[in-house]
Amino acid sequence: MEERPLARSTISRDRFSRLFSIGDRNSPESYSPCLIIGENDPELPISIAPLNLKLDNSVIPSSMEITTRSKLCYPFDRKDTWTASQGLSLPPSLIESNSGEFPSGVEFLPVTWSSLHHDSSLLKTSFQPSIIALMDAPQLSKNTGLIETALFTIRTHFPSSLIWAPGISGPDNCALLSWMGVDIFDLARSRQASSLGVLLTESGPRLPEPSTKEDCSMVSQCQMWTNSISSTRSAIRAGSLRELAELQSKSSPRSVEHLRRHDQLTLEKSGKLGMTQSSVQIGTQLRCHSFESRNDVTIRLWREEISEKYEPPMRMRDVLVLLPCSAKKPYRLSKSHSRFRKSIGNRRVHEIMVTSPLGLVPRELEDIWPAAHYDIPVTGDWDEDELSIIRQMLSRLVERVGYSSIVNHSGIETGLVGINEIDTRKGESAGSKDSLARLKDAVSYSFENESGELDFSPREEKLKSISRFKLGSDEWLDGCQIRGRPPIFTISKDGEQMAKWDPRRGRFLFSKASLKNLWSLGILRKVELIHGIEWTGDIFPNMIEDYDPSILLDDELAVIQEGELLGSARAVAPGWEWPFGPGKLAKSRHRL
């Protein structure tokens, strides 16, 4: 009987993790992340464990069988079974040797480190099995960098598949593995913990507490799993899985290592594959409550862009004013920054906030992601790592821009040499009367040889700077008129609205009239539709001829067909999921 694919629809995304509904989308019986249970495992609700596993070791190579516990494959008329062979693969240490027998399957496909390197059938990118199992995950997890590379490779080549890494999951790393792309977990470690008299919890293995009548039975182990999966699903919905993964990583040194190596790998690949988002929904926060938060690709990309590519407004490249951050975001809404700006009183200075973990935040970029959305404990103290990051960024920025002087109201020693720097804090608080007076005098002194301020529009400079930073160009703003009450602006040209600036989401809302100009200037990333197909709704995988792999979640995309611009769409999936991601990849916006 022909194997049918598992019906699944994306409910929420959070980087490499997805919350899938499984079964009929109108009435799903389960979701992933989820459990797969064996013949001797306790019964669990289908909502938690929708799949059964059966092993057959009576043949060589041994075979595996996965059966759905309910009617989860279209047209939802029966339970389905998928069969696969485990193959005879060599251990990861013998990767150079292309020998043995590769695992095989259709809707259920086992893979190994060896098959990922040598099995040419995996290069058929249109093939997206329902489930992929990384069979040698326990061995890979013990070798530096291998499990991270394997999961990254599978996740980006098979974006529609559910990933299972047998034998390494537990309630203590469920969120971490989900963050790395794993969708299906098993009870192997929990069975081992139970046999050793240990309870495997969300915070790691421990002895049961007799005063609360805890035990290490599989019933108790499964309750820990239910709690962990519930927390993971909820975090994916809320966009806070990173925070939970960081918390869980503290349960073992190995987990911390896995998170750090995954972060580094993601950063290295981010230039070719879109990994993050260009803007976020209102209310989203990037919680940076631990040291590991500083390694998140969103933060590291910000620091890299500011250091190496960011260009300040042309009329603000002379005097740099360094200011402390504030707990309130964006900073302009805080009382402290209202006082700072009143004391500065000059539109020509370039204000930059000194903060952790982003390092530096230019004033004109304070409304965009992640500058307006990060949350960090404020103690007033800086550790050496934070100071090192800030000083390196500042040194590189000053070197590139060529400021003539710096007014330092941040309270941090910059370590810069060969440049005129005025410390306006003198060890006092930033908001003290004397500090503010020194700030005012320092700015006045820096411009004492000028007859007056040059005539320019701060709002125009702000929007051009944002456009350069987010879109790579500000040419589309040439000749435009900018109106509105700050911080919301309407951008028009020749009496026709081109866009609006939405500070709540930190993005430009482009009108239909702007699309041809944006496309001709090469500002928008593109998606090209298959020849002859009629574009009548949103964009799905079966419609795509070509695309830009660097697409970020929430990007405005130019929709092209046969070289002609048809309109625009907004990406609901990042570039690594294209073109074979599950379900809708972009939502239709404008049609010409």
The pLDDT tens digits for 209-227 are 999 999 999 999 999 999 9
323 and 178 in a common domain: no
121 and 23 in a common domain: yes
d(CA 578, CA 568): 17
Q: What pTM was estimated for this model as a whole?
A: 0.92
355 and 259 in a common domain: no
d(CA 557, CA 519): 9
Residue finishing a domain among 269, 295, 319: 269
Residue with tokens 């938690």: 48
Q: What are the beta bridge partners of residue 185? A: 35
Q: Cα torsion at 377, 381, 387, 393 (round to 10°)?
A: 50
Q: What single-letter amino acid sits at 571?
A: A
* 427 assigned to some structural domain: yes
- According to the model, what pLDDT value does residue 441 have? 94
341 and 206 in a common domain: no
85 and 219 in a common domain: yes
571 and 428 in a common domain: no
* 495 assigned to some structural domain: no
Residue with tokens 């005539």: 455
148 and 197 in a common domain: yes
* 380 assigned to some structural domain: yes
* 15 assigned to some structural domain: yes
415 and 546 in a common domain: no
Residue finishing a domain among 446, 476, 507: 446
- Side-chain half-sphere CA neighbours of 393 within 13 A: 28
Q: What single-letter amino acid sits at 564?
A: E
327 and 233 in a common domain: no
Contact yes or no for 395/529 (Cβ under 8 A): no
* 62 assigned to some structural domain: yes
Count, residues in the chain = 592
Q: What are the beta bridge partners of residue 114? A: none
Contact yes or no for 77/53 (Cβ under 8 A): no
Number of domains forming the structure of the chain? 3
190 and 60 in a common domain: yes
d(CA 351, CA 481): 24
- According to the model, what pLDDT value does residue 125 have? 60
Closest CA to 17 of 239, 215, 281, 277: 239
* 489 assigned to some structural domain: no
Kindly provide the b/e burial profile for residues 60-83, where b requires at least 16 CB atoms within 10 angstroms of the residue's own CB.
ebebbebebbbbbbeeeeeebbbb
| Residue 512 tokens, joined | 């239909």
Residue finishing a domain among 397, 422, 446: 446
Closest CA to 550 of 272, 157, 266, 269: 272
How many C-beta atoms surround the C-beta of residue 567 within 10 A?
A: 17
Q: Is 81 helix (H, G, I), strand (E, B) or coil?
A: strand
Q: What are the beta bridge partners of residue 101? A: 88
- According to the model, what pLDDT value does residue 449 have? 67
Give Cα separations from 84 to 55, 71, 87, 133, 135 (angstroms): 10, 20, 9, 10, 12
Edge-first strand listing for the sheet containing 507-510: 481-483, 489-493, 496-502, 507-510
Closest CA to 380 of 341, 431, 429, 337: 429
Residue with tokens 């294209």: 578
Whole domain around residue 590: which residue ranges?
524-592
Domain of 569: which CATH number?
A: 2.30.130.10
Which residues of the chain are under the pLDDT cut of 50?
none
Closest CA to 150 of 189, 92, 82, 105: 92
* 290 assigned to some structural domain: no
556 and 425 in a common domain: no
- According to the model, what pLDDT value does residue 287 have? 86
Number of H helices, E strands in the chain: 14, 30
239 and 150 in a common domain: yes
Domain of 438: which CATH number?
A: 3.40.50.10630
Q: What is the DSSP letter of 8?
A: E
Q: Phi and psi for 54 in degrees, rounded to 5? A: -135, 130
| Residue 233 tokens, joined | 């699903």
* 276 assigned to some structural domain: no
- According to the model, what pLDDT value does residue 87 have? 85
Contact yes or no for 107/82 (Cβ under 8 A): yes
DSSP secondary structure, 463-479, as one string: HHHHHHHHHS--GGGTT
